[in-house]
Amino acid sequence: MPPTNWAGNVRYAARAYHRPSAVDELRRLVAGSDRLRVVGTGHSFNRLGDTDGDLVSLAGLPGQVRLDEDRRTVDVPAAIRYGDLATWLHARGWALPALASLPHISVAGAVATGTHGSGDATGNLASAVTGLELVTADGDLLTVDRGTPDFAGMVVSLGALGVVTRVTLDVVPTYDLRQYVCLGLPRPALDEAFASAYSVSVFTDWRGARGTQVWRKQLADQPPPPADWLGTRAAEGPCHPVPGMPAQNCTAQLGEPGPWHERLPHFRLGFTPSSGEELQSEYHLPRAKAAGALAALDGVAHLITPVLQVSELRTVAADPLWLSPNHDRDSLAVHFTWIADAARVLPVVAEVERVLAPFHPRPHWGKVFGVDAAALAASYPRWDDFRALRRRLDPNGVFATAELDRHLPR
């Protein structure tokens, strides 16, 4: 049976599945293939990572992690999961500045799609990348860093430039956090809420303040929020973002102090966060226009709520990476976890994109979206530069797919 993605909504169409055990084996495989893509942990919800050619897992490549304390960097294999890397780093007194909701995702996959954590002053996961090692279409091994021309175009690459085998990341000294969940945030207090802690996520059902949870991940030495913080009330026990789901899958709350990697994600590494019975979409909007964008979504809330499990709002700092959803603009990310029913969800996604169009939304590359190539090109100032870089590094389209070419024509 062909492999599927984590959610089960994509059944890969590859003619062959490979798991090389050495970089030289991977290089030969790439050089001999006319079409090839890499699959990571499968947490994408669209076919950007699919191919009718060769599908490759990098999980069998050597897994050495190399820490450089003087340069404050760590060099890691592409397939390592963030949760495993975080545990390794914390044991040695180091940390990453941000983590996504799921610690289960691979470093290279999250970087290539511009996946993010949360924080007014915190960039997405790709913004921490200081270097890459990748196998290009002719099988050559290329090493690049922040001093390399066009490096800012090579980090969030959608897998279109080569097979990334290793990633070098910035690290910071380890730190502790406390997580508090507050209920019933009024919309006018949203900006103040985002600014109140190291990382903040606001979950909403689009039915008003009553159905809102604020997950505040604050530095452990900061005082707890007052009982009536911004008109909210403190959760009396642990919560799950999706009502009715078991809270034991989530990271510790109620102000219990703990290391960064056990508080920044919403879900524990040792638990399956959900059954995969869902679809996801996400749009990054200019932070300065957030109020208007949220008001536009309020206008179609009656369409959203019947097919929604939960929606999450997060802020992300600007970065210089060409295809990053946060390129050159501070952003509000609006995430939708939908029910697993594409026939009902896709028309709603289209309506969401229609009302957000005036705000130039940049969709998360690994989730369900229908924004066309023209609108994407208008939203990314370095769009044509990336296309030229893609043609230079992959002139024959070895890493091309139908989905990738539809969104990003060569």
Mean pLDDT to the nearest integer, 290-315 = 97
Residue 404 belongs to some domain of the structure: no
Domain limit, last residue, from 144, 174, 204: 174
Judged against a pLDDT cut of 50, whether residue 1 lies above it is answered with no
Share above pLDDT 90 across residues of the chain, in percent, rounded to a whole number: 89
Q: What global pTM score does this model have?
A: 0.96
170: domain CATH number is 3.30.465.10
Q: Are residues 323 and 207 in the same domain?
A: yes
Our count of domains for the chain comes to 2
Residue 133 belongs to some domain of the structure: yes
β-strands 213-219, 176-183 pairing: antiparallel
Residues 87-124: tens digit of each pLDDT: 999 999 999 999 999 899 999 999 999 999 999 999 99
d(CA 365, CA 9): 16
Q: Are residues 207 and 344 in the same domain?
A: yes
48 contacts 158 by C-beta, under 8 angstroms? yes
Judged against a pLDDT cut of 50, whether residue 165 lies above it is answered with yes
Residue 167 belongs to some domain of the structure: yes
Judged against a pLDDT cut of 90, whether residue 43 lies above it is answered with no
Can you give the residue range of the structural domain that contains 232? 176-370
Residue 396 belongs to some domain of the structure: no
User: SS3 letters for the chain?
Assistant: CCCECCCCCCECCCCEEECCCCHHHHHHHHHCCCCEEEECCCCCCCCCCCCCCEEEECCCCCCCCEEECCCCEEEEECCCEHHHHHHHHHHCCEECCCCCCCCCCEHHHHHHCCCCCCCCCCCCHHHHEEEEEEECCCCCEEEEECCCCCHHHHCCCCCCCCEEEEEEEECEECCEEEEEEEECCCHHHHHHHHCCCCEEEEEECCCCHHHCEEEEEEECCCCCCCCCHHHCEECCCCCCCCCCCCHHHECCCCCCCEEHHHCCCCECCCCCCCCCCCEEEEEEEEHHHHHHHHHHHHCCHHHHHHHEEEEEEEEECCECCCCCCCECCCEEEEEEEECCCHHHHHHHHHHHHHHHHHHCCEECCCCCCCCCHHHHHHHCCCHHHHHHHHHHHCCCCCCCCHHHHHHCCC
* Residue 203: φ, ψ to 5°: -100, 135
Q: Are residues 82 and 153 in the same domain?
A: yes
Q: Are residues 168 and 198 in the same domain?
A: no
From the list 59, 39, 34, 54, the residue with the least C-alpha distance to 137 is 34
Mean pLDDT to the nearest integer, 347-363 = 98
Q: Are residues 313 and 182 in the same domain?
A: yes
Q: Are residues 161 and 199 in the same domain?
A: no
**Cross-strand partners of 38:** 56
Residue 58 belongs to some domain of the structure: no
Judged against a pLDDT cut of 50, whether residue 252 lies above it is answered with yes
Predicted pLDDT at 338: 97
Q: Are residues 218 and 195 in the same domain?
A: yes
Residues 257-288: tens digit of each pLDDT: 999 999 999 999 887 666 568 999 999 999 99
Q: Are residues 220 and 170 in the same domain?
A: no
Q: Are residues 189 and 313 in the same domain?
A: yes
Domain limit, last residue, from 157, 174, 191: 174
Judged against a pLDDT cut of 80, whether residue 299 lies above it is answered with yes
239: domain CATH number is 3.30.70.2520
Predicted pLDDT at 410: 84
Q: Which residue has the tokens 């993010």?
A: 116
Q: Are residues 241 and 355 in the same domain?
A: yes
Residue 221 belongs to some domain of the structure: yes
Q: Are residues 169 and 256 in the same domain?
A: no
Q: Are residues 211 and 309 in the same domain?
A: yes
Domain limit, last residue, from 174, 197, 213: 174
Residue 402 belongs to some domain of the structure: no
Judged against a pLDDT cut of 70, whether residue 146 lies above it is answered with yes
Residue 28 belongs to some domain of the structure: no
Task: Of 144-148, 240-244, 325-329, give the lowest mean pLDDT range.
Answer: 240-244
Predicted pLDDT at 6: 82
